[in-house]
Amino acid sequence: MASEVPAEEPFIAELKRWRDVRGMSQSALAKSVGYTPSYVSKVESGQQRPSVSFADESDRVLRAGGAIRRSFAELEARGRNGGITPHTHKPDPSHGLAQPTSIVVEHEDAELFYSDQTYRATQRRKLYNASSDPIARYLIRISVDRHPGNPERSNRLYRENPLTWEELGLTASIGGEPIGWRIQHDRDAFKEL
C-alpha cells in the first residue's frame, strides 16, 4: 500500500531551504515573523497547515524573492482543485516511515576541487546511531544560490537554468559499497534525497 504524500511537502521543502540558505533557526524565524517556535516546528513537520500570513512573512524575512509565496499559492491551488486535506498526523514508526531522531555526526570532512572547468565537492560524515533502531534513511539536502544578496536574480537564474541531477553527478557509498537513494524533492535550485 503506497503512502500518501502530504500536500504541504513542496512548501515545507521551500521553507526549510530558505531557512538553511539564510542560516536561521526555527526559533529565530518564529520570532522574526511573529509566530511561536512550536507553530514553525509543526508547519515544518507537516502537523500544521501554514497560514497565508505566515508564508508572506517568511518570504519577506528570509528574502526568498517570492519563492515561498509561490510555493504556498501552489499548495492553496492544490487544496482548492484537489480537495487536499491538511496533514495532521505523525508517521507511525511501526511502518518504517519515521526518520531516525538519534543520529549524531561525529566527524565531517569536506573538500572542494576545481579541474577542467568543473568543481567537484566531496563530503564524508562519520555517523553514530545513538538509538537502538537501525538507520534506514539519511536525508541529504543540496541547495545552491549564485546571488545570495539578490534572491530574485538567483531565482530567475535557476528557473532559466535549473540544477540537474546529471550536473551534480552524485555518488554515495558506505565503506566503499555504493548505496542507492530516492529523490524526495527536485526543484530548480534545491534537491533533497
From the centroid of its chain, how far is CA 84? 21
**Is 162 a residue whose pLDDT tops 80?**
yes
Question: For the residues 175-186, what does the mean pLDDT come to?
Answer: 85
Every domain of the chain and the residues it spans: 9-82, 98-192
pLDDT given at position 6:
56
pLDDT given at position 100:
37
> What string of H, E and C letters represents the secondary structure of 162-184?
CCCHHHHCCCCEECCEECCCCCC
The 3-state DSSP class for residue 84 equals coil
| Cα distances (angstroms) measured from residue 92 to each of 3, 96, 98, 174 | 11, 7, 7, 28
pLDDT given at position 173:
80
User: pLDDT tens digits for 9-37?
Assistant: 889 988 998 998 888 999 999 999 999 99
User: pLDDT tens digits for 61-120?
Assistant: 998 888 898 889 888 887 654 443 343 333 334 333 333 356 777 788 888 888 888 878
Q: Taking the domain 9-82, which CATH number applies?
A: 1.10.260.40
Distance between CA atoms of residues 141 and 164, nearest Å: 14
What's the whole-number average pLDDT of the chain? 79
- Which amino acid is residue 174, in one-letter code? I
Q: What is the pTM of this model?
A: 0.46
Q: 163 near 119, Cβ under 8 Å?
A: no
